[in-house]
Copies of this chain bind each other. A is one copy, B any other.
């Protein structure tokens, strides 16, 4: 049985939803950031990066949301969470998820995690000020160029959908008027109604 290490309100929710979508047997364990549990020797032995998510599998430990999502899709092929037999379609899924991970999530992280990239308190404040612009620019691209509708990849639900839903939970906190992005908002609402999403969200906030 797999085990997902998560913290509420983080990108770990994407893998959590995907595990539900896949019908996987899994357990979850919260890593409290407030208690700095991601920095304990026990957790660093699981994930030396000191971050969530991490997924314990029969074969070993996986980290990095795009890799975990693709692993879940490939491990549960009957759930049809990605176009597994089509390298181009699979690459489109991966390109979307890579953009969320390396551009959107990174832009967002400058609001709360600025110390990763600068030590000067004024610089950290300057980073926070730019988050609505930098994250907003990501959503402009997603709304206008990337989100096909009704799902991210069009008619087929894929591992892109729980990931977009997850990062979209941060829109208001990032100071963005989410009404600017009606396609993203519509996607978010339809995702929120799915039983797998409701279950995963409820478990994380329990």
Which residues of A does B touch, CB under 8 Å? Answer: 48-49, 57, 59-60, 62-68, 70-71, 74-75, 87-88, 90-92, 94-95, 97-99, 101-103, 105-107, 110, 116-120, 122-123, 126-127, 129-130, 134, 141, 145
Cβ A98 vs Cβ B101 within 8 A: yes
CA distance A135 to B98 in the complex (A): 20
CA distance A70 to B118 in the complex (A): 33
With contacts A67-B95, A91-B68, A94-B66 known, is A134 near B105, CB below 8 A?
no
Cβ A62 vs Cβ B92 within 8 A: yes
24 contacts between A and B (CB under 8 A): A48-B145, A62-B88, A62-B91, A62-B92, A63-B95, A64-B95, A64-B99, A66-B94, A66-B98, A67-B91, A67-B94, A67-B97, A67-B98, A70-B91, A71-B91, A98-B102, A102-B106, A116-B134, A117-B127, A117-B134, A118-B126, A119-B130, A120-B123, A123-B127
Residues of chain B within 8 A of A91, CB atoms compared? 62, 67-68, 70-71, 74
CA distance A120 to B120 in the complex (A): 12
With contacts A71-B90, A87-B71, A117-B134 known, is A64 near B98, CB below 8 A?
yes
Query: Residue on B with the closest CB to A58?
Result: B88
* Cβ of A72 to closest chain B Cβ, rounded Å: 9
With contacts A74-B87, A88-B57 known, is A95 near B127, CB below 8 A?
no
Residues of chain B within 8 A of A118, CB atoms compared? 110, 123, 126-127, 129-130
Residues of chain B within 8 A of A59, CB atoms compared? 88
Given A67-B94, A117-B130, A123-B123, 20 new contacts (CB under 8 A): A48-B141, A62-B88, A62-B91, A67-B95, A68-B95, A71-B94, A98-B98, A98-B102, A102-B102, A102-B106, A106-B106, A107-B116, A110-B118, A116-B134, A118-B126, A118-B127, A119-B126, A120-B122, A120-B123, A120-B126
